[in-house]
Amino acid sequence: MGRVRGKVALVTGGGSGLGKADCERLAAEGAKVIVSDINEAAAKTVAAAIGANAIAVKHDVASEDDWKRVVTLAESHFGGLNILVNNAGIVVVADPEETTLEQFRKANSVMSEGVFLGCKYSIPLMARSGGGSIINMSSTASHLGYPAFFAYSAAKGAVRAMTKSIAIHCQAKGYGIRCNSIHPASIETPMIQSAEGRPGQEHVIPEGVLLAGSAGAPTDVANLVLYLASDESRFVTGSEILIDNGLIISA
């Protein structure tokens, strides 16, 4: 207990899936958490379950004004910001020929521009707060070819590249801010359920070491988020960390 005690965390897309698991894990280890989600009701449910150390906020990560408002809230309500988890995402199922320009722009507005805006407006507050950790949720889609998820892959590739520039920028400025990207394979979340045509039908992920080709659980990613958010990972920045049960090396 207490691995991130005294730290303030902002998790986008915190109302469900990976974001929900991240919020719960960080709070359990002592962080004060801002649960950010475009679905305000979902964010409130997560924050209420956590208790006094969490607040919910309606947040469209593609909106610059929303980012300014949410970062200001972090400072006014909790006094600063130490952990940013850029997790919010959407998925469009369409190959390069089928994807419309509108779909491409929408996916990138959330997962590429949203990450850019989050870092842009959070970095100054994090620096004033004594530094911290930015954790950008990318995907194995930034490493492998997934034609059916073309727009998603493009956005996650941008996240992978931006992370490295942000890491070196913060290091050069002496901000005490680290920045890393996480690259999960298939994780059992509502997004995956919808992409696989089984909305609301949750598969149970067994305990112990998983077989090849298995999906992971949200807690698998949340445990990695906790490590990167904590001071235990002080020597880790600019890294892209695969959490894929060997998918990339076996592909």
pLDDT over 70 (residue 196): no
Domain positions in the chain are: 8-183+223-250
What integer is the mean pLDDT of 205-232? 88
Tell me which residue has tokens 């965390």: 9
Say what the pLDDT of residue 11 is.
99
- Which residues participate in catalysis according to the annotation? 152
Among 107, 66, 102, which Cα is nearest to 191's? Answer: 107
CATH number of 8-183+223-250, picked from 3.40.50.720, 3.40.30.10, 3.10.129.10, 3.40.1440.10: 3.40.50.720
pLDDT at 208: 81
The answer to whether 32 and 9 have CB atoms below 8 angstroms apart is yes
Q: What is the DSSP letter of 28?
A: H
Give yes or no for residue 206 having a pLDDT over 80: no
Task: Please give the pLDDT value at position 195.
Answer: 66
* Contact yes or no for 90/110 (Cβ under 8 A): yes
Distances (CA, A) of 119 to 18, 159, 180, 196: 19, 11, 12, 31
Per-residue pLDDT tens over the stretch 30-45: 999 999 999 999 999 9
Stated pTM of the model: 0.94
Q: What is the structure's pLDDT at 197?
A: 66
Q: How far apart are CA 84 and CA 181, in angstroms?
A: 12
CB atoms within 10 A of CB 172: 8
Q: What is the mean pLDDT of the chain?
A: 94
Angstrom distances, CA of residue 5 to CA of 17, 43, 136, 209, 211? 23, 22, 21, 30, 35
- Which residue, chain included where needed, has tokens 């449910």? 45
Report the SS3 class of residue 225: helix
Cβ contact 189:218 at 8 Å: yes
Q: Which amino acid is at 8?
A: V
Averaged pLDDT for residues 216-243: 97
pLDDT for position 193: 67
